[in-house]
Amino acid sequence: MSLLLASYHGVHVPDLRPGHVKLRWLKPDWHRNTRVRERSKTCPCRAVVYTLFQTGGLAFIQRVNADDTVETERLRTAITREMWDWILTGRAV
Ligand SMILES: [Zn+2]
């Protein structure tokens, strides 16, 4: 069991590609988080962890590091999933 846990890693965000896009990050809007479902998450072994959340017909991404928690705007799921894909392929930060 401990061996399994020790060897397990989730998705790692790769190094940023040249020409990557900088996303707009906002302060978390906690009071709106009444019905939020976690859809996907990058590996917590890294200093920066990204989580994809779904809330109704909208979605957003949260970025957490040691001293800050920020979120993207809540947008249509298809748009947010594309941003998520960009983050996971080093095309956005
Ligand atoms: Zn890891």
Would you state the pLDDT for residue 84? 98
Q: What is the pTM of this model?
A: 0.87
Read off the pLDDT of residues 5-34 as tens digits, 9 standing for 90 and up: 556 899 999 999 999 999 999 999 776 667
Read off the pLDDT of residues 45-54 as tens digits, 9 standing for 90 and up: 999 999 999 9
Expressed in angstroms and rounded, the spacing between residue 31 Cα and the centre of ligand 1 is 31
What separation in angstroms does the CA of 87 have from each of 5, 9, 51, 68, 75? 25, 17, 11, 18, 16
Read off the pLDDT of residues 80-93 as tens digits, 9 standing for 90 and up: 999 999 999 999 99
Q: Look at 35 and 39; give whichever has higher pLDDT.
A: 39
Would you state the pLDDT for residue 29? 77
Q: What is the percentage of the chain residues whose pLDDT exceeds 90?
A: 81
Expressed in angstroms and rounded, the spacing between residue 32 Cα and the centre of ligand 1 is 30
Residues 6+ apart with CB under 8 A from 76: 57, 58, 59
Expressed in angstroms and rounded, the spacing between residue 76 Cα and the centre of ligand 1 is 29
